[in-house]
Chains A and B, each alone.
Chain A
């Protein structure tokens, strides 16, 4: 499960960017408002699913707890 932490960090990064990108695309007229709301919600769900897996968890401690389980 050593891949879990970097994978969740990558997802967090993507969702972090994904939270603001729909608004930027809306400003440039590339998304309509409903699409903007939907993509922002998707990014929000991914952020809250992925980020708790690594934030506030020191790497060694997280790995240790994984190994114990």
Chain B
């Protein structure tokens, strides 16, 4: 997933330059820069968890193959039609755009939420890397149902891995960024190798003759993605679960508009289609390949339901597989911690970046010791998108609709307010409504349309409507006060 987060080789990262001004024409970048950035950024350690969790959720072959196809197309369209058009017109960072609309005080709240979510995400990546250590040093590793640390050995391993990642992140991630760029193309091939070797092993061990594509598809339907009931403690994934998960797992960055900071460097808005490289390599090929490894593990021993990327990768590719797991976790956890540190530092600018990043890394390490986030990664990713999505709706409405509705855009900047209550209400009330809907989980015509995986879709419209209504009320009050005074 976007997980985001191998720094691009050429695309300047958020916060690197033109923080409070539109990106000038001379700094615009070509299409290839974005293709490379997305391909590297979306092949992360967490892909090794998500693929297996699909199998644990009882997906069928059609649901996962076609559902991922549709979901990833929708994600690419979201970048192309929602994020990039605003980015290439305004050419501002997300934070500056938000500050103009919401005011700096509300942006601080956004930074806090963003930073906390980044911390947990980085924690999941630390968890993935730590499972690789368990291949050599024998200690009880967390199982699929574990939410708390289950052994001292696990905690010590996570602490060491997390501390190492945190210290490197605190010193600045330029070296790691370079390693990440070097590793990215190789990692994609190792992910592909996982799938090919796993599939071959499954075919050989099942003794099913596979002589044609039709045979292969039948094999996948009956041995890899069998459908049926999910494993204990998991939610059943249907076609729509897979589709919406693939679409919304990066909701924070496309519909949530975080990637305004990236696409402000694009020459044209259609460069949004460059995200297809990340979606179809990282979120299609890598997920399917990782899921094959887990299906093979279940085929060998149906009682061995633990999702441990390290041992799975070692079985398929040996030491190269272990290196891939460590690289995938480390190179993505590092910039994630760094970005979380930047988000927190915006709130406490007087504290040094080193201290803030180190503290952030320690927080992520503590989160990583708890298998909760990694083992419930599907739910966490959906929650991550949900929490940041309303601000994306606010930006979308403010940019495209406010003037047409006779309202003032960039109201915080116009009125000099530090806090735009319309945006705050739209954010908080949308989250409250969505949480209530998820908790109530009503069944309508036999389906549960407000599960955490789906609720962000109606939630976006709720946020947009709330922002328009609240803006109309608040801006009218502002005008009346101005007239009275």
Binding site for B on A (CB under 8 A): 16, 19-20, 22-24, 26-27, 33-34, 36-38, 40-41, 43-44, 47-48, 51-52, 55-56
Contacts and interface: CB of A to CB of B under 8 A. Distances in A.
B320 A40 contact: yes
A37 B317 CA distance: 5
Given A33-B197, A56-B181, A41 B319 contact: yes
Contacts of A37: 317-321
A20 B201 CA distance: 16
A33 B201 CA distance: 9
A5 B260 CA distance: 36
B200 A16 contact: no
Interface of B: 9, 178, 181-183, 185-186, 189-190, 192-193, 196-197, 199-201, 317-321, 323
Contacts of A19: 186, 189-190, 193, 320
Contacts of B192: 20, 23
A40 B181 contact: no
B182 A16 contact: no
A35 B259 CA distance: 43
Given A16-B185, A34-B318, A40-B318, 18 more contacts: A19-B189, A19-B320, A22-B193, A23-B193, A23-B197, A26-B196, A26-B197, A27-B199, A33-B201, A37-B321, A40-B193, A41-B318, A43-B320, A44-B186, A48-B183, A48-B186, A55-B182, A56-B178
Contacts of B317: 23, 36-37, 40
A36 B185 CA distance: 19
Contact of B189 (A20, A27, A38, A48): A20
Dominant secondary structure of chain B at its interface with chain A: helix
User: Considering the complex of A and B, which 8 residue pairs feature the smallest CB-CB distances, nearest first?
Assistant: A37-B318, A23-B193, A40-B320, A19-B189, A23-B196, A44-B320, A20-B189, A41-B320
B182 A48 contact: yes
B198 to A, nearest CB: 10
Contacts of A20: 189, 192-193, 196
15 contacts: A19-B186, A27-B200, A36-B317, A37-B320, A37-B321, A40-B318, A40-B321, A44-B190, A47-B186, A52-B182, A55-B181, A55-B182, A56-B9, A56-B178, A56-B181
Contacts of B196: 20, 23-24, 26-27
A21 to B, nearest CB: 10
Nearest to B178: A56
A56 B178 CA distance: 7
Contacts of A33: 197, 201
Contacts of A55: 181-182
A49 B196 CA distance: 25
Contact of A52 (B178, B193, B197, B323): B178
A44 B323 CA distance: 9
A16 B186 contact: yes
Contacts of B181: 55-56
A43 to B, nearest CB: 8
A51 B178 CA distance: 11
Contacts of A23: 192-193, 196-197, 317
Contacts of A26: 196-197, 200
A29 to B, nearest CB: 8
A38 B262 CA distance: 39
A23 B321 CA distance: 12
B142 to A, nearest CB: 26
Nearest to B199: A27
B281 to A, nearest CB: 13
Contacts of A38: 318
B213 to A, nearest CB: 14
Contact of A40 (B183, B185, B190, B199): B190
A51 B182 contact: yes
A44 B200 CA distance: 21
Contacts of A27: 196-197, 199-200
